[in-house]
């Protein structure tokens, strides 16, 4: 069966658009079949740079930072013109809590592709973790300009606004997050905390109840802290 699956993917890599194969991998990095898929493309001598890239992402997803670093090192050495290698390296540094080097890698990619929204988002995260909140907000605003329905960017920007004490802006971003993604329960909690801090207890309780209606078990568990 494994031989048959491998053979089929070799045919796919050779005869069809390889991007469709990598789309399968990207859509579910946890799939046990991914390494078979990627090795099939290597056998077909097809898109080896992308194979390295996705193997690195899989290793990172599995929290195998050592393997991810080795794969990315080979990718940068063998395919120096493959820009996504810098994105992968940025993610690896981010996971390693080396935020400065993470920013440097995202900078390299963004100089070549200023609209790389994932690099912008993850650079914002690195900036935020370095307590450079205004830079994080700037990157997230760029993400939203590129993708106005990007709920996670609104949520992250709300958090950094909140840490800066910019509560009206944080409230607005949390509300936008909830409107775009009613299942982002953390946004309800963040919003409720702000209103509680502002002594708007009725509003805080209302938000927690809305979170419960949306399906948040955590909101159910903390309700007594907001609704007294």
CATH number at residue 211: 1.25.40.10
42 confidence band (pLDDT: 50, 70, 90): very low
The residues, ordered by sequence, that sit 6+ positions from 112 with a Cβ below 8 Å of its Cβ are: 83
Mean pLDDT of 129-142: 97
Domain membership of residue 106 (yes or no) is no
Provide the domain count of the chain.
Answer: 1
Question: pLDDT tens-digit profile of 182-195?
Answer: 999 999 999 999 99
Domain membership of residue 84 (yes or no) is no
Domain membership of residue 96 (yes or no) is no
Please check whether residue 58 is in contact with residue 34, taking contact to mean a CB–CB distance below 8 angstroms: yes
Domain membership of residue 32 (yes or no) is no
Please check whether residue 50 is in contact with residue 39, taking contact to mean a CB–CB distance below 8 angstroms: no
- Residue 149 is given by DSSP the state T
CA–CA distance, 158 with 140 (Å, rounded to integer): 10
CA–CA distance, 129 with 140 (Å, rounded to integer): 14
Question: pLDDT tens-digit profile of 122-134?
Answer: 999 999 999 999 9
Domain membership of residue 156 (yes or no) is yes
> Does residue 45 carry a pLDDT above 80?
no
Crossing angle between the packed helical segments 18-27 and 2-15, to the nearest 10 degrees: 130
Domain membership of residue 157 (yes or no) is yes
Averaged confidence pLDDT in the chain: 84
Tell me, what's the pLDDT at 151?
Answer: 96
CA–CA distance, 59 with 41 (Å, rounded to integer): 18
Tell me, what's the pLDDT at 47?
Answer: 67
Domain membership of residue 181 (yes or no) is yes
Tell me, what's the pLDDT at 1?
Answer: 40
Predicted TM-score (pTM) of the model is: 0.80
Domain membership of residue 202 (yes or no) is yes
Domain that holds residue 215: 152-228
Tell me, what's the pLDDT at 115?
Answer: 97
């Amino acid at each position: 069966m494994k031989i048959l699956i491998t053979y089929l993917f070799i045919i796919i890599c050779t005869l069809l658009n390889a991007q469709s194969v990598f789309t399968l991998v990207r859509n579910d990095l946890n799939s046990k079949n991914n390494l078979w898929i990627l090795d099939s493309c290597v056998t077909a001598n097809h898109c080896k740079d992308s194979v390295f890239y996705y193997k690195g992402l899989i290793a990172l997803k599995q929290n195998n930072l050592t393997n991810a670093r080795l794969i990315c090192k080979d990718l940068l050495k063998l395919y120096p013109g493959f820009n996504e290698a810098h994105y992968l390296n940025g993610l690896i540094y981010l996971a390693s809590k080396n935020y400065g080097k993470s920013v440097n890698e995202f900078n390299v990619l963004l100089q070549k592709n200023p609209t790389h929204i994932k690099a912008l988002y993850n650079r914002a995260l690195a900036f935020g973790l370095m307590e450079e909140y205004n830079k994080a907000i700037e990157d997230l605003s760029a993400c939203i300009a590129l993708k106005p329905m990007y709920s996670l960017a609104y949520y992250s920007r709300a958090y950094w606004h909140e840490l800066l004490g910019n509560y009206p802006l944080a409230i607005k971003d949390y509300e936008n997050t909830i409107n775009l993604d009613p299942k982002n329960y953390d946004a309800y909690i963040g919003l409720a905390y702000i209103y509680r801090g502002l002594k708007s207890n009725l509003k805080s309780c209302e938000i927690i109840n809305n979170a419960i209606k949306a399906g948040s078990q955590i909101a159910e568990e903390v309700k007594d802290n907001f609704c007294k």
